Chains A and B, each alone.
Chain A
Amino acid sequence: MRIVAYALALLVAGLFAGRAEAVEIQEVTTPLGIKAWLVEDRSAPLVALSFSFADGTASEPESQKGVTSLMATMLTDGAGALTADIFRRREEDAATHLSFGASSDRLSGTLRVLTASRDEGFDLLRLAVTEPRFDSDMLDQRRDQAIAGLNQAEQSPRSVAERTLMASMFAGHPYSRDASGLRETLKTLTPADLKGRARSVLQRRGLIVAAVGDIDAQTLARQLDRAFGALPEGELPAALPDWAPPAGSRTIAIERPVPQSAVLMAMPGVLRRDPDWYAALILSHILGGGQQSRLFEEVREKRGLAYSVSASLRSSAKASMLVVSTGSANDRVAEAIHVIQTVLARLRTEGVTEQEVADAKTYLTGSLALSLDSSGAIAGLLHGMQIDGLPRDFLDHRADLIAAVTKADVDRMAQRLLRDDAVTTVVVGKPVGLAVER
């Protein structure tokens, strides 16, 4: 298809100055029973789709570690009668972009397509999820790339710290991923393994879909039935085992010949469905959520111990952590960790200020709009809301939920989360003067 003339007309006319309206979310149910959330937005001639299937890497068998991510990557490496090369050319010629990836809980995908080539885009999506090929020469290529990716991650102190933290926090739980084991099983995976995994993950039960852009409910319903209709209804996967955070505190040091040590400090957090979620979010923001945070002030502004220092809540279906992250010169990293520990202890014992709570609320309320700056980002938000089990009118109430949190709530969270007897600290580099307990 000739996009050039179409694209020229669009780019020159500058059609993107559409009217901002409150995000109005429709629920669409297709004739085949697939449910989706839709925000119709005619300001750009494109559709962004964000969707996911109800199973991820955590449930894969021990002997097939890595199979889900590799399978997800290979869904766009040829399907039906189209080899990888032809598939990709069709995608490029239609100016559409389709990609897949797996997290521990779900296999997710995004589709971006211009109105002018919408049928073709959804057709490629249908092929990818219903008739993926998993040709063995492509498997060899993706396997090599996946192993190279693991090697590359070994070069980065930050990635090594992440991997080490995951292994320590989730030891014995399916969320733990052992990179060396992964390398070994990746080598043994066959096209039949990938096909089998695709069959068990790509099912309609638990499918979540969000669409944003130049499409009406009826058209979306028709396209979704075309794309996903041929998949089996299937069954929801068995729930993962509950996670018990590791008892006690530990410091793990991994030596690497780098001038700056990467540091992660993790504590058990709160699950998304916990009633105290917003209090924890406000606490995390006050602790390390930006340039006005306590960590930024004490570690960076006052002492120049780091360029980057932050805290964030990470939550998935079965686990949640509050993670502090920084990097500091090898001979100053012990001091940086000590300052972070002092900040945590002070917050726990003295609590936060009313002003900090008010500022955090303003930020968390206002910043939602800042992240909704593209159709894909809005589709991502709608998709995430469904995963979290939030109602369709959640955005109308979010500000109230944040406003309802009190200083006492945040102080209570500080005592619950910022405990010095449950911190896993990982340091990767050549730290000087660091007390290592393991």
Chain B
Amino acid sequence: MLPSRRAPIVTQLLVYKVGGADETAGRTGIAHFLEHMMFKGTGSVGPGEFSRIVGRNGGRDNAYTGFDATGYHQTIAPDRLELVMRMEADRMAGLRIAEKELVPERQVVLEERRMRIDNVPSALLDEAVRARLFGDHKPYGMPIAGFVEDVKKLSVDDLLDFYRRFYTPSNAVLIVVGDTTPETVRKLAETYYGPIPGQAVLPRRRPAEGAPDLPQVVTRADPRVVQSGWARDYLAPSYRMGETRHAYALQVLARLFGSSETSRLWQALVADSKLALSASADYNALSLGLSTFGIDISPLHIDALPEIERVVTDQMKRVLDGDVTSNEIERAQNQLLAAAIYAQDSLGSGPRRYAAALTTGNGVADVEAWPHRIAAVTASDVVAAARHVWRGDSAVTSLLKPAERAP
């Protein structure tokens, strides 16, 4: 419970420790499809009523599915917290899925996939990159949205089976932020979630290694593409898997290497050599399994790609050779910590940060220690982290380019 009295509102976020990475080949998209069906009613709340009731009470609600977690959240006036907690507990135990609700919702799920992925060439390429990096039928290698042919086959029983296995109090984390008190939240949670019988959930497994046949290059030539793109994604440790001691240094590395226009990549590729329109690096340590360290470039001209790859390699080599100053480290730390301060000013980002940590094997103490651990990173830590992650044998390089349109 995170008290905040900035505004007379509360947010309840109930997040289950299950996501797209807990699916099996041939059954992709279950976690996400189930998230949709969670709005289709229980014994006491009719199909679609959940959101209607929240809206009628001046609130907003939604849900999301990630690789490691599925979250349901409502933001509403503090005196309606009891209402949304009662309804959230109700659908934790009493979900009903009827064939007549499932049929149109399957189409909705497929339309969502079309909108987010099939209509978007770069999203299709990302899907291919993940499959190459983590393995075709492996966690994180299969899309959260599911493959169309899998989603078409999923049945009421498939969804209910998944629901019964994972939707239980012992597999959930409740986060409440806003204008209320820990005592109120505890009392309500004991009243509504308390009586739901718990059940054991098997520990989740994530592979300790990526795909065996790396490195790889993936190209997508698509008639819809006007603006080309080049990217390289490395397998990287997270807080929980791989060489986890590098997780904090990697955040500082991503920051100084490519998180703003003063970063090394931007300076080299956009400001100095004028080969690219933009250049960035990205790393997220919050994963139950392995994570990725990504480098993303928008070339000014596609012909300059060999030159761009050379500049990227040079810039990486500088870091690998130990050319990182403590001044740069401190600036990157400044930026990370300042971003965290601004995030605390917003009610929206607070709960999501805790949810991501608590569903990937971290504790509240880890979230609270984050500023200190970031501040403790040294230049030699960053160099060591780069040497560990930037190895030629753990990457997928990808290229998005235009293709002739079919006549």
CB distance from A213 to the nearest CB of B (A): 9
User: Which chain A positions have C-beta within 8 A of B112?
Assistant: 307-308
User: Which chain B positions have C-beta within 8 A of A260?
Assistant: 111, 114-115, 118-119
- Chain B, 272-308, CB within 8 A of any chain A CB: 274, 277-278, 298, 300
Q: In the complex the two chains form, what is the Cα distance from A19 to B405 in whole Å? A: 59
User: Which chain B positions have C-beta within 8 A of A370?
Assistant: 9, 58-60, 75-76
Flag whether B219 is at the interface (Cβ < 8 A). no
- Chain A, 308-337, CB within 8 A of any chain B CB: 308, 327-329
Flag whether A178 is at the interface (Cβ < 8 A). no
User: Which chain B positions have C-beta within 8 A of A327?
Assistant: 111, 114-115, 119
Flag whether B260 is at the interface (Cβ < 8 A). yes
CB distance from B322 to the nearest CB of A (A): 23
Q: Which residue of B lies closest to A117 (CB)?
A: B338
A304 interface neighbour in B7, B51, B111, Cβ under 8 Å: B111
Asked if A7 and B111 make an inter-chain contact with CB atoms under 8 angstroms apart, the answer reads: no
Asked if B224 and A155 make an inter-chain contact with CB atoms under 8 angstroms apart, the answer reads: yes
Asked if A4 and B330 make an inter-chain contact with CB atoms under 8 angstroms apart, the answer reads: yes
Flag whether A301 is at the interface (Cβ < 8 A). yes
Asked if A145 and B277 make an inter-chain contact with CB atoms under 8 angstroms apart, the answer reads: yes
- Chain A, 359-376, CB within 8 A of any chain B CB: 359, 362-363, 365-367, 369-370, 372-376
Interface size bracket, A side = 35 or more
CB distance from A24 to the nearest CB of B (A): 14
User: Which chain A positions have C-beta within 8 A of B52?
Assistant: 291-292, 359
B48 interface neighbour in A4, A17, A291, Cβ under 8 Å: A291
Asked if A304 and B107 make an inter-chain contact with CB atoms under 8 angstroms apart, the answer reads: yes
User: Which chain A positions have C-beta within 8 A of B104?
Assistant: 300-304
User: Which chain B positions have C-beta within 8 A of A157?
Assistant: 119
B375 interface neighbour in A4, A301, A366, Cβ under 8 Å: A4
Asked if B108 and A7 make an inter-chain contact with CB atoms under 8 angstroms apart, the answer reads: no
Flag whether B227 is at the interface (Cβ < 8 A). yes
Q: Which residue of B lies closest to A43 (CB)?
A: B6
Flag whether A256 is at the interface (Cβ < 8 A). yes
Flag whether A148 is at the interface (Cβ < 8 A). yes
Stretch at the interface among A60-68, A85-93, A346-354: A85-93
Q: Which residue of A lies closest to B338 (CB)?
A: A95
Flag whether B314 is at the interface (Cβ < 8 A). no
Q: In the complex the two chains form, what is the Cα distance from A7 to B343 in whole Å? A: 12
CB distance from A269 to the nearest CB of B (A): 22
Asked if B338 and A114 make an inter-chain contact with CB atoms under 8 angstroms apart, the answer reads: yes
User: Which chain A positions have C-beta within 8 A of B274?
Assistant: 140-141
- Chain A, 1-23, CB within 8 A of any chain B CB: 2-4, 7-8, 10-12, 16-20
User: Which chain B positions have C-beta within 8 A of A97?
Assistant: 342
Flag whether A305 is at the interface (Cβ < 8 A). yes
Q: A11-B340, A304-B104, A374-B345 are in contact. Are A366 and B58 (CB under 8 A)?
A: yes
Q: In the complex the two chains form, what is the Cα distance from A188 to B289 in whole Å? A: 51
Flag whether A151 is at the interface (Cβ < 8 A). yes
Flag whether A98 is at the interface (Cβ < 8 A). no
The interface centre, meaning the residue of B57, B334, B340 with most chain A CB atoms within 10 A of its CB, is B334
Q: A43-B5, A373-B9 are in contact. Are A365 and B51 (CB under 8 A)?
A: no
Q: Jot down 11 A-B pairs with beta carbons below 8 A, ordered by A.
A: A3-B337, A8-B337, A18-B4, A140-B274, A141-B274, A155-B121, A305-B111, A362-B58, A366-B57, A373-B75, A376-B345
